[in-house]
Structure 1
Amino acid sequence: MKYRVLFRVDSGKHIGLGHLIRCLSIAKALDPSRFEVTFACRKHVESNYSFFFTNTPFSLIELSSSSINASIGSLAYNSWLGVSELEDFEETFLRLENFEQKFDFIVIDHYALGLKWEQKAINFTKKLIAIDDLGNRKHVAHCVIDPNFGSFEDKFKGSVEDYTKLYLGAKYSILKEGFSLVREKSVNSNLEKKLEKVLINLGGSGDLSRLEILIDSLKRTRFKGHFVVLVNNKKFVDNRNRFEKDERFSFVDFIDDMVPFLSEFDLVIGAAGGSFWERGCLGVPSVLLKVAENQNVVTDSLKNRFPELVFDNINQMCSEIGKVISSFKNIEYKQKVVRSISSLVTGLGLANIVTEVFSQEVFRLREAKVEDALVVYGWQSFPGMRKYFRNPEIPKLEEHLSWFKDSVEKIEKRSVFIFETTYGLPLGVVRYDIENSNVAEVSILINPFFHRNSLGARALIALANQQKKMSFKAYVESENVASKKAFLRAGYTQIGERSFYLGSRE
């Protein structure tokens, strides 16, 4: 029998598309052979949600229409529904088939749905999950996910139950799997590329006048590259001919897959919504315009590092945009921005949520192949990666290829595994050498583009579960705090200043 999952989320002119997109990303990451997914969405002005359910296995329950016609940031959050929380709950469950049967999971991602809705919903599910990046309302949910960079437990102090488990910070940023797959290549590319192609994207919905003002300002800049404007507003699309007279501009109405599309650009001028995390994952620099109060977390993340790239209103942005674009012609400045923003989010948040919240395993070990050698060499050659190695010198490529081939094919007492996601993203390498009987020394190296995701501990646990008869020992330099934490989290005991041990599990 499949697990039943209900998502309650809306989109609209006054809401944007971000909440819907991140819920769809979670739903698409769930194994359809194990999970049966239903979405409940209310019809708002410019909600645009039906398109996103084309060619998906998900059921869609459409709630009655609201008459709200406002732009992003112009309404208080508790006015976003158009009905009361209790009315929304009753309509949602009246429209569901077999609602008497408990859902295994109910996910709420809505600023206007809080304690009253949750107090009802918790009786209809085994696990109630609230996605809340504001921290401005109380919860009785079993889990609260706040995927914003820098989130901390004090943000929810006094507003959650003792049993509520918190999943906080960029480790749980909700980006679809494709972003992590191209992250390493994209970040490296953006460190080298010159500024030639700029994307303008002010979000899924909003004030059309902002976009027109921005384009008029960009037309007056001396930038000789190419501006691409992403816009889904039909009124603007129908009247865009007045902007197309400038050959530097082209317009795109809709993008089906943002991953390869974003990778084409050297800079994005955009709203400070969830798409900032997508750009950060790929190392694409951003100039941000704040269009709503809930974007403070995003703008603060960048403002603390590069205040010159964050603007509170369109007029302020337009007065400085020419100078800002020119600053990215300096490759050293661009590289500084790329390194900084790409460190904020790695793109594994979705895998972490699916594993930890929905108990669907996304990580695995597989036996290494000779063709994995170049990938592992790239990790070893990354600046600072061999700092705590017994031999900190980077080997020559020929030496590494020979060593790796022998390790995989010839050395009987050595086993090498690649730690990866089930969708094929390589995250690390684990090796052990048998010393006597069932005792082996283990070593581990994690892909430097995916640090801060507890991957070391995950990989060591996967190895321990796979080789239960084996006892493992490891040597870790005392200054290598991250590795020491990984071994301890994986169940190892520290038996000396640098020694760790894990006994047989059988």
Structure 2
Amino acid sequence: MVKQEVYIRADGSSDIGLGHIVRCISLANMLKDDFSIHFFSLKIPDSLKNEIIQNEWDFTVIEKELDYMNELTGNEIVVLDGYQFDSDYQKLIKNKGCKLVCIDDFHDQHFYADLVINHAPGVIKDDYEGESYTKYLLGPDYALLRPEFLDNKSQEINTSKGIKNLFICFGGSDSRNLTAKILSWIPPKNYLVTVVLGNAYSHQDALNNVIEERQDLEIVIKNSLSAEEIRKELEQADLAIVPASGILFEIISAGLPVVSGYYVDNQQGIYKGFKKLGCIIDTISFERKHFSEAISIIDEDKLTIIRRNQMQAIDGLSMNRIQEEFKDLTSVCV
């Protein structure tokens, strides 16, 4: 039986970040058993391109958007993840006859997609403007998690034992070098601090200076870890410090108390949603004052409440729900 083709269009770089492609890889893993996956990118780092190829999905580098349009026959399910894919672009896809899925953060335009996925907590259908046929998959029930984080049963074994081990990760590029700033702000308490750097991190000299200054901390630097390796690090950690991006969903899925905030606009929805659900220790926009206040209010009772709220926020069933929605699109395509 020939599988329905899913054509995923997303880009990633140190300038725009890697989150669009990372969550599309998560989506592809959810769909791979029932669909044929094909990625198209104008810009993508080699590490993510290699991950796509290792999964035996098709991959095409395009030079311009017209190249992608010319690949479409009208029989595909198209997935778009990127802020450049506006209403006019969506109409071009729909006019080809394709089914269209948009992964969104801002709900700031009219949507012509058949499905819109926004996994930020607290987003509702009334936030959107779209066609009468558009269906909205909103909130953590549709979390785009990598396979290693879809099972939230391990939340139950992450019990409080005080805070000794810290986990820090600010994504693939960390454009504002918050990694180094956070390291310099951590209180002097002999923590073991595991820092995970992404493929596009470019502030090594500044980070080395901070490491040299913080002799009171045991700092371990790890680069470009796989999802499985990150999962293992989280199981050893007592507290995470991450932004309100895709990594926050993984932290919450793992049941790890977390200090979080936002530093770019597309993180605000996730930040506000998980703050309202009581799943994070709030550091607002990662200014030093706010970070110090967040660290100072942590106690055992707060950690217990956060873990309980995290278990309620992400149930580990998002893959099942997303698979069913794509299968419904397939039945319409046939």
TM range (shorter): 0.7 to 0.9
From 190, 202, 212, the counterpart of 2:170: 202
Determine the C-alpha separation between the residues in 2 that align with 1:307 and 1:129.
30
Residue 125 of structure 1 deviates from its aligned partner by 4.3
Match of 1:266 among 238, 244, 254: 238
Partner of 2:19: 18
Question: Partner residue of 1:40?
Answer: 40
The one-letter amino acid of 2:107's match is G
**Aligned-pair CA distance for 1:307:** 8.3
1:238 deviates by 6.2
CA gap 1:184/1:193 in 2 versus in 1, 3 angstroms: farther
Q: For residue 340 of structure 1, what is the amino acid of its counterpart?
A: N
Q: Report what 1:143 is aligned to.
A: 115
Change (3 A) 1:317 1:250: farther
CA contact (8 A) 1:4 1:104 kept: yes
Q: Normalised by the size of structure 1, how large is the TM-score?
A: 0.59
SS at match of 2:54: coil
Q: Do 2:149 and 2:253's aligned partners in 1 also have CA atoms closer than 8 Å? A: yes
Distance 1:346 1:193 in 2: 24
Q: Distance in 1 between matches of 2:279 and 2:61?
A: 42
> Which residues of structure 2 form unaligned runs of 5+?
330-334
The structure 2 residue matched to 1:91, chosen from 26, 43, 67, is 67
Partner of 1:56: 55
Shift of 1:51: 3.2
Q: How does 1:123-138 map to 2 (within 5 A)?
A: 123-138=95-110
Partner of 1:179: 149
Instruction: Specify the alignment match of 2:285 in structure 1.
Output: 312
* Matched residue, 1:27: 28
Deviation at 1:359, TM superposition (A): 4.6
Aligned to 1:341: 310
**Residue matched to 1:463:** none
Contact 1:244 1:250 in 2 (8 A): no
Q: Distance in 2 between matches of 1:279 and 1:110?
A: 24
Q: Does 1:355 align with 2:319?
A: no
Cα deviation code 1:208-261 (max 9, x no counterpart):
54322222222xx13222111111245434665444443511101111123333
In the alignment, the residues of structure 1 paired with residue 181 and residue 147 of structure 2 have an alpha-carbon distance, to the nearest angstrom, of 35
2:140 and 2:318 in contact (8 A); partners too: yes
CA displacement 1:286-324 (0-9 Å, x = unmatched): 111311111111221243347862321433345x1xx53
The answer to whether the 8 Å contact 2:245/2:267 transfers is: yes
Q: Which ranges in structure 1 are unaligned for 5 or more consecutive residues?
A: 65-86, 361-506
Matches of 1:196 and 1:188 in 2, distance apart? 19
Distance 1:208 1:132, change over 3 A: closer
Helix, strand or coil: the match of 1:343?
Answer: helix
Deviation at 1:172, TM superposition (A): 0.8
Give the deviation of 1:105 after TM superposition.
0.8
2:75 maps to 1:106: no
Secondary structure of residue in 2 paired with 1:199 = strand
SS of equivalent to 1:60: strand
Work out the CA distance in 2 between the residues paired with 1:39 and 1:30: 13
Distance 2:288 2:94 in 1: 46
Displacement of 1:61 after TM fit?
A: 1.4
CA distance in 1, matches of 2:20, 2:327: 19
Match of 1:215 among 165, 183, 199: 183
Contact 1:171 1:345 in 2 (8 A): yes
Is 1:228 paired with 2:194? yes
Q: Distance in 1 between matches of 2:301 and 2:98?
A: 52
Normalised by the length of structure 2, the TM-score is 0.87
Tell whether the 8 Å contact from 1:12 to 1:47 is kept in structure 2 after alignment: no
Find out whether 1:297 has 2:269 as its counterpart: yes
Task: Give me the CA root mean square deviation.
Answer: 2.6
Quick one: which amino acid aligns to residue 161 of structure 2? K
CA contact (8 A) 2:280 2:306 kept: no
Q: How many residues align?
A: 322
Query: What CA distance in whole angstroms lies between the structure 2 residues aligned with 1:282 and 1:177?
Result: 12
